[in-house]
Amino acid sequence: MKIVSAILGCILFVLFFGFALKNTDPVDLHFFLGYELRGPLVLMLLAFFIAGAFLGILAVTPTVFRHRRESSQHKNTIQALQSAAGTAASAPQPDSVTPH
């Protein structure tokens, strides 16, 4: 399986490297207030991809922390219930049966 993933990684690298070599033309990005940025297309695409990935991770972070906090609270509750059940419950007593 490692060989297959290494071959796939090499193929993807060659494809992306070829894409980068074919897209080196300069492009202009026009922002508000007359601000303009000029650079190679492949670097602009890379910058916006990285910015989008960062914003996506930033958007998910509060949810991840909330789930971790809730999971910790549930584990503490389970441990408390298990310890309470272990101390409160003694060995079961047999039913008292009178012989006939």
Tokens representing residue 68 in the block: 């971790």
Closest Cα partner for 79 from 90, 71, 67, 68?
A: 71
Residue-wise pLDDT tens digits, 24-83: 889 998 888 889 989 998 888 889 999 999 999 999 999 999 999 999 999 999 888 888
Is a pLDDT exceeding 70 seen at residue 20? yes
Residue-wise pLDDT tens digits, 3-13: 999 999 999 99
pLDDT given for residue 86 in this prediction:
72
Residue-wise pLDDT tens digits, 37-49: 899 988 888 899 9
Compute how many other C-beta atoms are within 10 angstroms of the C-beta atom of residue 45: 14
How many angstroms separate the first and last alpha carbons of the chain? 72
Q: Where are the beta strands (DSSP E) in the chain?
A: 26-30, 36-40
Q: What is the DSSP letter of 33?
A: G
- The mean predicted confidence, pLDDT, of the chain is 87
